[in-house]
Amino acid sequence: MSVMGSKTKVLFFLVSLGGGGAERTCVNIINNLDRSKFEPVLVLGTADDARYIDLLCDDVKVIVLGAPRLRYVFMKLLRCIRKEQPDLLFTTMTHNNVMLLVVKMFLPEKIPIVVREANHWLGSNQIPTLAKWVVKFAYNHLADSIIALSKGVKRDLVEKFGIRDSKITVIYNPVEVKTIQQLACEPLQLDDHSQGKTVLAVGRLVESKDYVTLLRAFALVTQHVRARLVVLGEGQLEQQLKQLCSKLGIEDRVWFLGFKHNPYKYMRNADLFVLTSQFEGFGHVIVEAMAVGTPVIATDCKSGPGEIIEDNKYGLLVPVGDHRALAERIISVLENEDLRNGLKLAGSKRALDFDAIRITMLYEELFLDAVNGCV
């Protein structure tokens, strides 16, 4: 072991620390590692748009390589690893994973590498054959262990990429339940209560989040229930979505508020949280909404939401892209207080299954096994 004789030094690598779920997960793991056993070091390609940097614990060493794009990272990352001499390397997301695994081939000493796969889209036909081959080779032959953040992601890796089942461990996302609950209590002024019930959506304004289905559904909802839709997130489709709101005649009932560092106070003050993704590796925001006691409706997409909600036990599921079914579900929740309260209670209990301390202990066990050659 490298530092103080007994701690395992783990080097976490990310190109950036932007506002995505995978980056937030990495921060949660780092913050909750047992400091009596582990010394985390975070290496970033760039500090630009590092929205989660302030959430890191003060004792975490952060190294910025000054490489804003992945293709500029290689040599700087290689030199950094040689200098830091960690006991273990960890990263997440396919592009980061492949880069770190390629770097491994040029390291003079064998340092175990654990990679985390976060998305289900890997198995789509949009991925070039060469890219699939690269992932298959790198994961099977260079990674010491692979973490899939849901059973669906693991199944995708095995069936469509030919990754060995024995190399993959399913560990769900760690969610900072207590921290989220505290942040949710911060004051929030949405004003204009005449707008009625509040439906909330959180996520990047991109095609895979399928806000088109949500807006079409909400247009039907407003014909039956007085409500407003609040959307937190940024993305390339913002203007198109606003134009669709105008076309649907709901522009005065949909609020696009951009990215928020504290979305939890919005979740707590919402009557309902909705996720309409076409695919998800996990669906982190679902658990976050549950943690603050907000009922959840999500599409039954591959692969995370169904594993979290479990056949309508902890929330409600609707088919992907079905705006009419979604509208019916939203109306039923907004109009039925008993249903809302039941979903609040069930969701709050479910969120504890993903508490960061509990989940990070699974990471710690796997990290130590990798260092000791047990995986």
Residue 124 has pLDDT above 60, yes or no: no
Contacts of residue 92, defined as CB under 8 A and 6 or more positions apart, other chains included, come to: 14, 22, 25, 26, 115, 116, 117, 118, 147
Report the pLDDT value the prediction gives residue 191, as an integer from 0 to 100. Answer: 61
Report the pLDDT value the prediction gives residue 46, as an integer from 0 to 100. Answer: 92
Handedness of CA 192, 195, 197, 198 (dihedral sign): negative
> Tokens standing for 90?
């960890």
Helices (H), 16-150: 21-32, 74-84, 94-104, 129-141
Report the pLDDT value the prediction gives residue 180, as an integer from 0 to 100. Answer: 94
Phi, psi of 58 (to 5 degrees): -65, -25
Per-residue pLDDT reduced to its tens digit, 58-87: 999 999 999 888 888 999 999 999 999 999
Residue 3 has pLDDT above 50, yes or no: no
H or E segment at 145?
strand 145-148
Tell me the CA distances in angstroms from 200 to 26, 89, 233, 284, one per residue in order: 25, 37, 11, 15
Residue 186 CB: number of other CB atoms within 10 A? Answer: 10
**C-alpha–C-alpha distance, residues 256 and 279, integer Å:** 22
Which of 15-24, 83-92, 253-262, 273-282 is predicted with the least confidence, judged by mean pLDDT? 15-24
Residue 52 has pLDDT above 50, yes or no: yes
Per-residue pLDDT reduced to its tens digit, 322-347: 999 999 999 999 999 999 999 999 99
Tell me the CA distances in angstroms from 247 to 213, 215, 222, 232, one per residue in order: 14, 11, 14, 21
The 10 Å CB-count burial string (b at 16+, else e) for 200-235 is bbbbbbeeebbbbbbbbbbbbbbeebebbbbbbbeb
Cβ atoms of 86 and 9 within 8 Å: the answer is yes
What's the whole-number mean pLDDT along residues 279-308? Answer: 93
> 125: pLDDT confidence band, cut at 50, 70 and 90?
low
Residue 192 has pLDDT above 70, yes or no: no
Report the pLDDT value the prediction gives residue 128, as an integer from 0 to 100. Answer: 73
